[in-house]
Amino acid sequence: MENNEADEIESTISTLEDRYRQIYREINAYINEDEISSKSIDGVPIRKLFIGNLAERATSKDVQNLFSVYGKVESCYLYRNEKKRNCAFVTFMNVDSASSAWRDGYCKQIRLHNRDLIVMAADLWNQPDMCKHWRVLSLKSWHTVKKLDLSYSTWGQQIRPINTAMLRRVLLRCGKFITHIHLSDVPNDLSINTLPIIAYFCPNLTCIDGSSLPICPMDLHTLTKKCKKITYLSIGSVADISDNDLKNVFKEYEDLSYFEARGNDNIFGTCLSYLPAQMLRTLVIKECHKITDANLSTALARLKNLECLKLLNCCHIGEKIMEAISDHCKSLTDLRICGRAGWLYNMNIQFTNLVNLRRLEITHFFALSNEQLINVALNCPQITHLDISGCDKVTDTGIIAIAGLSKLEYLYINFLTNITNHSLKNLVNLKIFECHSCPLITDHGVCKILVSSPQLQLLDLSQCCNITNATYEVAKRICDSRTNNVILKMFIQGTQIVLTDAVSPFLQTVNFIRPEPFVRMPYTGW
């Protein structure tokens, strides 16, 4: 009686398993009908198939006999490797036979030695019917791939999620030629073993932005052993990376010229003292809230050749860091400090030694004062780009001072509630001027800038409630008379401007709310 029940249960399980396999095949056949039913890819007939998941005991004759049921086999080549991951290439005499085998293989209907075989179309350049000329060109085309950029800034927000398997297939073809790879802000389907794969396939890599990659200490160790030429390194919010791990990386990469750390709350900054002092040119620290004032200032004191320093939304920006910048970073051309550190009201940074500065951004930094802007105007004559958005202590006195910078072309004074028309009268030759949410600025001040800046490309008046159609009419008249073909884009959301039917080919008005100036990408002419 018990044996009968056991047989009945086993029979039921077997029936269910058979039914499951049938449903699985039907679903796969339906989903992939278009792909698998195709007898060609990009116009190349498919006669050659890749066969994977072969048992160690499988022979070439076993594979050929198995696939002969689909049609005459022209050739069968079995490849064995040390890791016992055997595979084969089967070439049929005609396309129909290959298509039938491809379909059955995809639906898990081809088995050998109790294994479901993996059946896929071989790469196009390995197909026997592919033109030899195009095959050579296809292979050569991968040789020209030097940069792989999967960031949003390149592909836009609609980029398809990239997973590790997809990335590996690309690197198999061009990895040894790639020198730059950027994986910042990509849809995060990349697994923990992505960095070792990159390191293995890209031995000539010099630049890697892996700020969206999950990384562990062993991954960094693999990178330093496989990729010896790294000069540009960016890492993101990794969970297990410590100061000691990064210290070992910096010791290996003596030619490192760019380092960026984003969103890492596990490092305290002691590792930064091991950065190559003579070679490093750019240091970016973004949202690393545990890096201390003392540790970062110690590192900055060594980096005398530093040209670009960005401290973005870091909690512990203190007196020591400011002193180190003032006293030791004399080669800086680009300095950016951004954050909402409201407790830094009495912070003091001197610009006496920063005579090479060309770009200065100190935004939402409440310690910045008129006296410091006067100091900038006196000591930094090379500045072309100045952003002091959200620095509430700045008044007309500070703006009047920086108007004396003869090379100034890009000025951002968003959210400065104490600025009036009086400070705008001496600003000339601007290309970009943003005064988003400056309630005391009126038509009179803006019109002066329009007249004195014939190269003006962008004017952001958003949320300036005292701007009226008078500004619009002046802008239209000036743009109509332009002979340099420069188009002015003017943002008017939140103003009193009411657009008319009259248009100017060199004036574009935009009536929507832009992203907040302290988080958006810089304007590049879109």
Higher pLDDT pick, 186 / 228: 228
Question: Taking the alpha carbons of 207, 211, 212, 216 in that order, is the dihedral positive or negative?
Answer: positive
Q: What local confidence, expressed as pLDDT, does residue 166 receive?
A: 80
CB atoms within 10 A of CB 69: 11
Q: Record the pTM.
A: 0.74
Q: Is the model's pLDDT at 203 over the cut of 90?
A: yes
* Range of 91-95, 131-135, 138-142 with top mean pLDDT: 91-95
* 408-420 pLDDT, tens digit each: 999 999 999 999 9
CB 474 within 8 A of CB 505: no
Q: What local confidence, expressed as pLDDT, does residue 345 receive?
A: 55
Higher pLDDT pick, 214 / 418: 418
- The span from the CA of 382 to the CA of 307, in Å, is 14
Torsion of CA 126, 127, 130, 132, to 10 degrees: 30
CB 461 within 8 A of CB 433: no
The fraction of the chain above a pLDDT of 90, given in percent, is 54
Q: What local confidence, expressed as pLDDT, does residue 126 receive?
A: 65
Q: Is the model's pLDDT at 294 over the cut of 60?
A: yes
CB 430 within 8 A of CB 449: yes
225, 335, 330, 231: which is closest to 279 by C-alpha?
231
- The span from the CA of 58 to the CA of 501, in Å, is 78
- The predicted model gives 107-120 an average pLDDT of 90
Which amino acid, one-letter code, is at 466? N
Q: Of 19-33, 195-209, 250-264, 459-473, which range is least confident? A: 19-33
Q: Is the model's pLDDT at 470 over the cut of 80?
A: yes
Candidate CATH numbers 3.50.50.60, 3.20.20.70, 3.30.930.10, 3.30.70.330; the one for domain 35-132: 3.30.70.330
Q: Of 79-93, 222-236, 429-443, 490-504, which range is least confident? A: 79-93
SS3 content of the chain, % helix, strand, coil (to 5): 35, 20, 45
* 53-82 pLDDT, tens digit each: 898 889 999 999 999 999 999 999 998 876
Q: Is the model's pLDDT at 474 over the cut of 50?
A: yes
Please spell the DSSP secondary structure of 410-461, one letter per residue: EEE-TT-TT--GGGGTT--S-SEEE-TT-TT--HHHHHHHHHH-TT--EEE-
Domain-wise residue ranges, the chain? 1-30, 35-132, 420-525
Per-residue confidence band for 16, with pLDDT thresholds at 50, 70 and 90: very low
- The predicted model gives 15-36 an average pLDDT of 48
Q: Is the model's pLDDT at 157 over the cut of 70?
A: no
CB atoms within 10 A of CB 30: 8
CA distances to 10, 175, 283, 320, 511 from 498, rounded to whole Å, are: 79, 55, 46, 51, 10
* 313-347 pLDDT, tens digit each: 887 778 889 899 999 999 999 999 987 554 455 56
CB 319 within 8 A of CB 345: no
Please spell the DSSP secondary structure of 276-342, one letter per residue: -TTT--EEEEES-TT--HHHHHHHHHH-TT--EEEEES-TT--HHHHHHHHHH-TT-SEEEEE---T
Higher pLDDT pick, 90 / 170: 90
Q: Of 40-49, 142-151, 177-186, 435-444, which range is least confident? A: 40-49
The fraction of the chain above a pLDDT of 70, given in percent, is 81
- The predicted model gives 157-162 an average pLDDT of 62
Per-residue confidence band for 30, with pLDDT thresholds at 50, 70 and 90: very low
Q: Of 133-137, 173-177, 180-184, 312-316, which range is least confident? A: 133-137
333, 327, 324, 336: which is closest to 300 by C-alpha?
324
Helices 217-226 and 194-201: crossing angle in degrees, nearest 10, is 0
Please compute Rg for the chain using Cα positions.
Answer: 32
